[in-house]
């Protein structure tokens, strides 16, 4: 992905792309917008071969509650695609692959070297402390970084530096929205509500077994000053501009 993609841009890109798709499906799309469209196609079996016009028609026919769910689901898939794209273009021997099914158990992305799986990652887009507790119960040894609002609710959880309120403001600015907008408002609400992303990395086993160099996985994750097996807010991995 380009350097222009900011640490807090995922929700903005998703909301802007959906709005532009509804307004003008025949427009020229940027790289990150094409990933959003591909994420939307992956979200439903009957959208796999959908054109941009088909996708626009699908979004336009959704009720507000349905649209919230679609945005939340697609944002998680978008994160997977962005993560895989960044890994596959970073110049090292580690590649990322996504399973055909978006509900693949255990992991969303697998890391491979010369065709051998050397690690996996599970990506979660959540907006509620309950999901943090669920994650901790399943992965008690893995730390979590949360949005400022969610971190403030849970003792011992550190903030990722992301604020729901700031993200909402950034999306509004990007779309030039007013509170009275209809479809845009629903997209905004859903994108802002799903900003927390916990990424639980299982690459530690591969490191300890010597199957991949620490440098290679540091390139994947970015130099954020945290352990390689620590869960991260994925938005913090998507760029550093």
The pLDDT score that the predictor gives to residue 96 is 62
Does residue 154 lie within any of the structural domains? yes
List, for residues 162-219, the tens digit of each pLDDT value.
455 554 454 445 434 444 544 455 555 544 443 322 222 323 333 344 444 444 444 4
pLDDT above 70 as % of the chain: 28
At residue 75, φ and ψ (nearest 5 deg) are: -60, -40
Does residue 84 lie within any of the structural domains? yes
List, for residues 44-59, the tens digit of each pLDDT value.
989 999 999 999 899 8
Vertex 126: Cα angle to 122 and 131 (nearest 5): 85
List, for residues 4-47, the tens digit of each pLDDT value.
333 334 555 666 677 778 888 898 887 777 888 888 898 898 99
Does residue 5 lie within any of the structural domains? no
Where in the sequence is the domain holding 176, given as residue range(s)? 10-237
Query: How many domains are contained in the chain?
Result: 1
**pTM over cut 0.95:** no
Does residue 161 lie within any of the structural domains? yes
Does residue 1 lie within any of the structural domains? no
Does residue 119 lie within any of the structural domains? yes
The pLDDT score that the predictor gives to residue 226 is 30
Residue 74 has pLDDT above 90, yes or no: no
Residue 233 has pLDDT above 50, yes or no: no
Helices (H) and strands (E) in the chain, counts: 10, 7
């Amino acid at each position: 992905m380009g350097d222009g993609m900011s640490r807090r841009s995922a929700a903005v890109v998703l909301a802007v792309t959906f709005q532009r798709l509804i307004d003008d499906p025949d427009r020229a799309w940027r790289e990150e917008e094409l990933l959003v469209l591909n994420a939307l196609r992956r979200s439903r079996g009957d959208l796999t071969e959908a054109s941009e016009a088909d996708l626009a028609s699908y979004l336009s026919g959704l009720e507000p509650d349905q649209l919230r769910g679609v945005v939340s689901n697609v944002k998680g898939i978008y994160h997977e695609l962005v993560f895989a794209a960044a890994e596959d273009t970073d110049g090292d021997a580690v590649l990322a692959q996504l399973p055909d099914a978006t509900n693949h158990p255990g992991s969303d992305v697998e890391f491979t070297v010369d065709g051998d799986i050397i690690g996996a990652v599970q990506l979660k887009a959540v907006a509620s402390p309950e999901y943090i507790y669920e994650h901790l119960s399943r992965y008690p040894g893995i730390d979590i970084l949360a949005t400022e609002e969610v971190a403030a609710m849970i003792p011992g959880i550190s903030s990722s530096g992301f604020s729901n309120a700031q993200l909402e403001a950034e999306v509004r600015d990007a779309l030039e929205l007013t509170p009275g907008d209809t479809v845009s408002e629903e997209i905004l609400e859903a994108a802002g509500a799903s900003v927390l992303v916990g990424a639980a990395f299982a690459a530690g086993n591969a490191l300890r077994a010597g199957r991949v160099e620490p440098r290679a996985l540091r390139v994947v994750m970015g130099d954020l000053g945290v352990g390689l097996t620590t869960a991260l807010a994925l938005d913090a991995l998507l760029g550093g501009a």
